[in-house]
Structure 1
Amino acid sequence: MTTVYTLVSWLAILGYWLLIAGVTLRILMKRRAVPSAMAWLLIIYI
């Protein structure tokens, strides 16, 4: 049972990391103004 919890926790961490990376790439690809992009990235990472 411990391995199931370990697997689920690793999948949750990986999913969260992929979500953050995807949103970050989306923000950077939209070519917004620098202050706007920095504000969005600050919201994501905090």
Structure 2
Amino acid sequence: MYIPKYFQVTNINEIVEFIEGNSFATIVTTKKGKPIASHLCT
């Protein structure tokens, strides 16, 4: 996935802080060409 430079986050501490502050996520993958959304809670 293309992410423009002004949206890129490379600071690992900032990434960890974001994850800890937002404990719900959705990972989208595909299986046999069909999208699958997996909900994650921490």
Q: Tell me, yes or no, whether TM beats 0.5.
A: no
Would you tell me which structure has more helix in proportion to its own residues? 1
What TM-score results when the alignment is normalised by the length of structure 2?
Answer: 0.32
Would you tell me which structure has more strand in proportion to its own residues? 2
